[in-house]
Structure 1
Amino acid sequence: MATLIAVGACYLDTILTVEYYPAEDEKLRASQLEKRRGGNVPNTLEVLQQVLRWKSISAPLILLAVLPNRSSPATEEIRASLGPHVDFAHCFYRKTSSVAPSSYIFKSLATDSRTLVNYSDLEEMNTSEFEQAISKFANQPDSIYHFEGRIPDVTAECIDCIRIRDPKATISVEVEKPNREGLQRLAQKADVVFYSKSWAQAQGYQSATDCLQRQTILTPKASFLFCTWGVGGAAALRASDKSIVQVPAYLPHSGHVVDTIGAGDTFIAGVLFGLFYTQNQNMVKTLSFANELAGRKVAQHGFSGLAEKMGQF
């Protein structure tokens, strides 16, 4: 069974729900406070392990993230949040730090949007560390490396390292932040690419299909491209025949959007499951599954119990 090595940042999130975004120097009382573990890649792992257990599939899930020292309460909290099915043994522990990267998220009820402020004093992963880490499990059958798409220069070097050490591995990359330079270069190196609506719009694309059709020319290595578009649904492109599949946004019967934090990460978990942990790579089923999984996520707080709600699949 495929081994997934997921590379990205791990945060402890503080989420404040407010009626509206306050003006500068304004005092505002939050209506709700929530604390939980965050980070794109850990969120994806949390959902993917749910789906694998739901389908009685046992597969190695390995996290590569920079964390405080091993014995710090922050590291223990992060480990506990993902449980025993995610392997933390290859993470990069900073012995002199006890504080995890933190994210402060403001959710506005008026606009149904969110604003994030991040903080971290941990030294970022470097290429030498990454190369040493993957040397311990390179050339395992059916290895998949999934990158969050942060620090593009270092990530590009890490991908090059994988191509040399583990040439049969599959590499997927998330292209999300519109103001992060170098993400296009990462997309050009990957086998599977996930584009966010915000990044696509910043490049001038008018829809998910517009993004994929134009990106396939710029991503010669990619076998599959995916793009989410919020209420506009999601689309997928298979490079072998340039076929495109598109599905509308999914909402449960309640029709209410409760919590959009991690919706994109949930979508990625659904796609990774469909591509690498099922018997066939049916694009319609894979996209529909990931789209519904993400739709069910936005209708609840957090990620708990998502897999069990996917009964029709």
Structure 2
Amino acid sequence: MSIVAVGALYVDTILTTLHCPEEDEKLRASQISKRRGGNCPNTLEVMDQLANASSQDLSMNLVTVLPARSSVASQQLLSDLEPRIRMGNCFYREGFEEPASSYIIKSQATGSRTIVNYNALPEMEVAELIHVLDGLAPDTAWFHFEGRIPKILLACIEHLRKHFPSVRISIEVERPGRAGLEDLARTANVVFYSKSWAINKGYSSIETCLRAQCTQTPNASLLLCTWGEDGAGALEPDTGKFVHVAAYTREGFEVIDPIGAGDTFIAGILYALNCKDGEWDVFQKLSFANRVAGIKVSQEGFSGLGRALHLE
């Protein structure tokens, strides 16, 4: 079974500070780390771990934009991901040496993270993305899209719907104020909403958000939303069934690294939908994804998350 994720790949530089700095404040970081990031790469990395831990045969494909093929950055990123994640359908931007980058300030006082992105790489274009999707679709069960470039993605998803109607599609609706995300959601089978997007739209709870969006997503079989310390929820539009799970915790639980928790939650849901669809109901799928994300929050980075399959 093949899963294709379409989204940006970033190099993250993470500074841990006592608190988030005020404007013009000088502040000393207690720790610095650098790692590969980006919503879709993170999601695929976690899915790969879950598949291996359960002996599932899942093929992971990432479609993203990279600097020049010969650049040091591209070579390092490829060596980091391959062969676990297939990178043969990336778009290389010749003349560019620097990858997309995120600079993240992580506050020890509140656990919050402030992110500054830099990305000079030209975005995917409709024609080149459709060409890649046409090559992948015959062997792909699921396409997952980060909602970064809605107008371009909408044209490509409509193409998939027309020519490959059996594929299933999921969408991330994450960034507040980004035009076109609701248009993307209308095309999807599964939609992931972020707390920040929901609050920006005036919703005060997970259930309020999902029930309102249910009327706007005619193709959806499942809508989901994460809400930080208030856990996560899921709604099945066909039945109107809503389920909620509290934030994951256990004895001695401590928030260490929330960066990528949402990507990890998505990985848990996509794993459950592709590998446990006939075994787990929606509550079990939601609980599992919530558990994987909670374990990720309690540790640095993404290693060893396959152990979530063996915990309750």
TM-score tier after normalising by the smaller chain length: over 0.9
Q: Note the C-alpha offset of 1:279.
A: 4.8
Are the counterparts in 2 of residues 139 and 165 from structure 1 also a CA contact under 8 Å?
no
Q: What's the offset of the Cα at 1:147?
A: 0.4
Residue 302 of structure 1: aligned partner: 301
1:180 to 167, 170, 178: 178
| Equivalent runs, 1:233-272 vs 2, <5 Å | 233-272=231-270
Q: Point out where structure 1 has 5 or more consecutive residues left out of the alignment.
A: none
Give the aligned partner of residue 202 of structure 1: 200
Contact 1:138 1:165 in 2 (8 A): no
CA contact (8 A) 1:8 1:64 kept: yes
Identity %: 49
The answer to whether the Cα contact below 8 Å between 2:53 and 2:309 also exists between their aligned partners in 1 is no
Shift of 1:311: 1.2
Aligned equivalent of 2:151, options 147, 150, 153: 153
Contact kept in structure 2, 1:18 and 1:108, CA below 8 Å: yes
User: For the aligned residues, what is the CA RMSD?
Assistant: 1.3
Residue-by-residue CA offset, 1:250-308 (whole Å, 9 max, x unaligned): 02322210010000000000000111112515111100100000000100011000112
Determine the structure 2 residue equivalent to 1:49: 48
Residue 97 of structure 1 and its aligned partner are, at CA, apart by 1.5
What is the TM-score when the length of structure 2 is the normalising length?
Answer: 0.96
Deviations 1:43-67 (A, max 9, x none): 0001000000001112211100001
Tell me, in whole angstroms, the C-alpha distance in 1 between the residues paired with 2:215 and 2:285: 23
8 A contact 2:43–2:263 mirrored in 1: yes
Q: Distance in 2 between matches of 1:165 and 1:99?
A: 36
Per-residue deviation, 1:84: 1.0
Q: Is the 8 A contact 1:233 1:249 kept in 2?
A: yes
Contact 1:67 1:93 in 2 (8 A): yes
**Could you list the per-position Cα deviations for residues 173-198 of structure 1 after superposition, in whole angstroms to 9, with x for gaps in the alignment?**
00001121211111111110000111
Structure 2: segments with no counterpart, 5+ residues:
none
What amino acid sits opposite 1:219 in the alignment?
T
Does the CA contact (< 8 Å) of 2:50 and 2:309 recur in 1? no
Distance 1:129 1:295 in 2: 37
Name the structure 1 match of 2:111: 112
Instruction: List structure 1 segments (4+ residues) > 3 angstroms apart after TM superposition.
Output: none
- Amino acid aligned to 1:212: L
Identify if the C-alpha distance between structure 1 residues 94 and 310 changes in structure 2 by more than 3 Å, giving closer, same or farther.
same
Counterparts of 2:221 and 2:24, CA distance in 1: 50
**Correspondent of 2:273 among 269, 272, 275:** 275
Kindly state the Cα deviation for residue 309 of structure 1 after the two structures are TM-superposed: 4.2
Deviation at 1:139, TM superposition (A): 2.5
1:136 aligned counterpart, secondary structure: helix
User: SS of 2:142's equivalent?
Assistant: strand
Q: Tell me by how many angstroms 1:40 deviates.
A: 0.4
**Contact 2:50–2:306 (CA under 8 A) maintained in structure 1:** yes
> The residue matched to 2:289 in structure 1 has which SS?
helix
TM-score (norm 1): 0.96
